[in-house]
Amino acid sequence: MTTINSTPVTANRKLLNWVEEIVQLCQPAAVHWCDGTQQEYDALCELMVKGGTFTRLDGKLRPGSFLVRSHASDVARVENRTYICSPNKDDAGPTNNWADPVEMRKKLKELFKGCMKGRTLYVIPFAMGPLDSPLCRIGVEITDSPYVVVNMRIMARMGRVVLDKLGAKGEFISCLHSVGAPLQPGQQDVPWPCEPDVSRKHIVHFTEDLSIWSYGSGYGGNALLGKKCLALRIASLMARKEGWFAEHMLVLCLTSPQGKKYYLAAAFPSACGKTNLAMMQPTLPGWTLRCLGDDIAWIRLGADGRLYAMNPETGFFGVAPGTSNKTNPNAVATVARNSIFTNVVLRSDGDVWWEDMGVPPPEKGMDWEGREWTPGCGRKGAHPNARFTAPAAQCPAIDPDWENPQGVPLSAILFGGRRPSTIPLVNEAFSWEHGVFLGSAAGSETTSAALHQAGVLRRDPFAMLPFCGYHIGDYFAHWLALARRTDRAKLPRIFFVNWFRKSADGRWLWPGFGENSRVLKWICERIEGAGKAVRTPIGLLPAPDALDMKGLDISGADLAELLSLDVEGWKKEAADVGGNYQKFGERLPAELNKELQDLKARLNEEPTMDLGKASVR
């Protein structure tokens, strides 16, 4: 066996033993301990260019950047192949696939046996969170994919510094990944090796030793194990035990014209607008927005009784289609260099293109499947779940505190989803319990971020449906318990937003993107006890004149529809939420059932509205 960077610069026995054990199991041709340097990154990119995996983009148009096309079977997270293996089935709950840990281990050992033949095994020591943060956690990913290594270097702190922090005795979360495509002697490699048979892909989390085993996919959350696997599923287990929160949330800082700062976190399901909101440019004069994170927040109770949020990642793995100078100029600037583009169109000038990029399509290009593509050909050029990987530090709107080890104190938490009807533009919860209820009842039309039918309504509590590592009923209880651990007045206010309401003829009723600042402004005013609200059966809605609409051309009828209460729609909504609650059985906290019953009762009463009067809770 040849080894590159073979001398592990660690005395951590546990790590050395684990690597040795996996080398025996997977039988790679070589072992490479990643140091995390730029030279290493460059060398691996070059290796992938030579091997046909990467295409180097034009050095002037897109410096330091690469295009990669995945296998057509490997384009998104595979939720039906994702498992939580807890000793008791009940502990995984009704929202997770469960498998017996002993049997799953046996099955995985068979799959992993010799699976890295002909490939290099990379050892990636990485940290989620600033190294000096009380919430920082160390993981080590073993992978046979150089694509994973270079993406992990953008998405997480990795290499020597992490081994130094780990030391001889430190604990780490072991994350084993293989694309599941061993090479026989003399066999030619393919640009995107993976296991094309979906039934053999496995994304597995063991809740006892908190380890991760991922087999068969090289894409996104299936393969970059620091992200959804560690920072959400495994972290949610640790967080529950230790009294903190691992959430699928963006974190942003909004500054008012008076210079007051508001830190907000927002949980929207995959491909429902986190990245866009996280770095949005407010259209309202005088307001500025800074980004702290676009996908994951680790949140803890501070000594002062407030909730502090920290982004454990260092990069963005964002949806490319729809990203334009009009919708998200900060993302466009972020991906201008040193970025990796997966499954977008390659232009003949050596740059990339995707649908709704806001620039004309190339006359001729190559689509995400490597086929010749022309604008009129009837196929999409980029895959709907095409992604960019880009360093957070390159975002022009990055907040100076984005790497603050303590995190930032939250003033509000937002929930949301894609809801073409019923759900108003914004709705404020009456209380912490009502807010947790709204989060637990969140739903969205499904998107292309996971392999399943897109566009059907599914309940996605707290946007954590595919990411909670334990029983979702216990998860709700964990959130409810927070109100007993601190002064309620110090808790963030909770809001529910919906940028995706449509008219009867299928138009977006709300312009979204930068115009969402109007909603955020009202939220800040509510936090100040000022903004005018109407008390309705479902929550506190903006009074008819409460949203700042200066300079926005939107019809009175559309605005009224966005802010109206659809009583019949909400009766159906409440019934559907109740149906979903049935699945949670005895572990559904009584407080949430009470919130649901109270909602139903309020909907059946004649809604009494104090129109135009500020309603202070």
Which residues of this protein are in contact with ligand GTP, per CB under 6 A? Answer: 268, 270-276, 294-295, 318-319, 321-322, 327, 449, 499-500, 508, 512-513, 516
CB of 495 to Mn ion, least distance (A): 20
How far apart CA 281 and CA 382 sit, in angstroms, is: 25
CB of 218 to ligand SPV, least distance (A): 11
268 token code pair: 């929207």
450 forms beta bridges with 77
Single residue of 295, 561, 573, 591 touching ligand SPV by CB under 6 A:
295
* Residue 276 interacting partner from ligand SPV, Mn ion, ligand GTP, none (CB closer than 5 to 8 Å by kind): ligand GTP
Q: Can you give the three-state secondary structure of 375-412, one letter per residue? A: CCCCCCCCCCCCEEEEEHHHCCCECCCCCCCCCEEEEE
Q: Does 475 bind ligand SPV (CB under 6 A)?
A: no
Comparison of 227 and 493: residue with beta carbon closer to ligand SPV: 227
Interstrand relation of 345-347 and 250-255 (parallel, antiparallel or unpaired):
unpaired
How far, in Å, are 265, 267, 449, 460, 496 from residue 445 at the CA level? 21, 15, 12, 10, 16
> Which residue stretches of 271-386 are H helix?
274-278, 329-334
Residues found in the chain: 617
CB of 329 to ligand SPV, least distance (A): 21
* Residue 516 interacting partner from ligand GTP, Mn ion, ligand SPV, none (CB closer than 5 to 8 Å by kind): ligand GTP
**Residue 519 phi/psi, 5° resolution?**
-70, -40
Note whether 248 and 299 are within 8 A (CB): no
Q: Does 270 bind ligand SPV (CB under 6 A)?
A: yes
Comparison of 344 and 596: residue with beta carbon closer to ligand SPV: 344
CB of 294 to ligand SPV, least distance (A): 9
Single residue of 449, 519, 527, 541 touching ligand SPV by CB under 6 A:
449
CB of 344 to ligand GTP, least distance (A): 13
Q: How many CB atoms lie within 10 A of CB 506?
A: 7
Comparison of 512 and 607: residue with beta carbon closer to ligand GTP: 512
How far apart CA 554 and CA 572 sit, in angstroms, is: 28
How far, in Å, are 308, 381, 524, 543 from residue 529 at the CA level? 22, 48, 9, 14
Note whether 298 and 410 are within 8 A (CB): no
* Residue 446 interacting partner from ligand SPV, Mn ion, ligand GTP, none (CB closer than 5 to 8 Å by kind): none
242 token code pair: 């230790």
Comparison of 313 and 433: residue with beta carbon closer to ligand SPV: 313
Q: Does 462 bind ligand SPV (CB under 6 A)?
A: no
Note whether 236 and 137 are within 8 A (CB): no
**Residue 123 phi/psi, 5° resolution?**
-105, 115
For 179-233, where are the E strands, in sequence order? 202-206, 211-215
245 token code pair: 């929160």
Helix axes 590-604, 432-440, angle to 10 degrees: 90
Note whether 563 and 544 are within 8 A (CB): yes
Catalytic residue among 272, 395, 468, 524: 272
Interstrand relation of 372-373 and 173-178 (parallel, antiparallel or unpaired):
unpaired
Q: Which stretch binds ligand SPV (CB under 6 A): 53-61, 139-147, 221-229, 412-420?
A: 221-229
Q: Does 221 bind ligand SPV (CB under 6 A)?
A: yes
Which residues contact Mn ion by CB under 5 A? 270, 295
How far, in Å, are 97, 173, 407, 481 from residue 139 at the CA level? 24, 4, 20, 29
Cβ partners under 8 Å of residue 188, min gap 6: none
How far apart CA 315 and CA 402 sit, in angstroms, is: 11
Q: Does 177 bind ligand SPV (CB under 6 A)?
A: no
Comparison of 10 and 95: residue with beta carbon closer to ligand SPV: 95
Active site annotation includes 272: yes
Q: Does 518 bind ligand SPV (CB under 6 A)?
A: no
Single residue of 220, 282, 315, 514 touching ligand SPV by CB under 6 A:
220
Single residue of 83, 287, 317, 513 touching ligand SPV by CB under 6 A:
317
Total number of residues binding ligand SPV (CB under 6 A)? 9
* Residue 77 interacting partner from ligand SPV, ligand GTP, Mn ion, none (CB closer than 5 to 8 Å by kind): ligand SPV
Interstrand relation of 365-366 and 345-347 (parallel, antiparallel or unpaired):
antiparallel
Comparison of 228 and 535: residue with beta carbon closer to ligand SPV: 228
CB of 343 to ligand GTP, least distance (A): 14
Binding mask 22-61 for ligand SPV (x = CB under 6 A): ----------------------------------------
Q: Does 228 bind ligand SPV (CB under 6 A)?
A: yes
CB of 70 to ligand SPV, least distance (A): 11
Q: Does 227 bind ligand SPV (CB under 6 A)?
A: yes
Q: Which amino acid is at 578?
A: G
CB of 200 to ligand SPV, least distance (A): 19
Residue nearest to Mn ion (CB): 295
Q: Cite the active site residues.
A: 272
Binding site for ligand SPV (CB under 6 A): 77, 220-221, 227-228, 270, 295, 317, 449
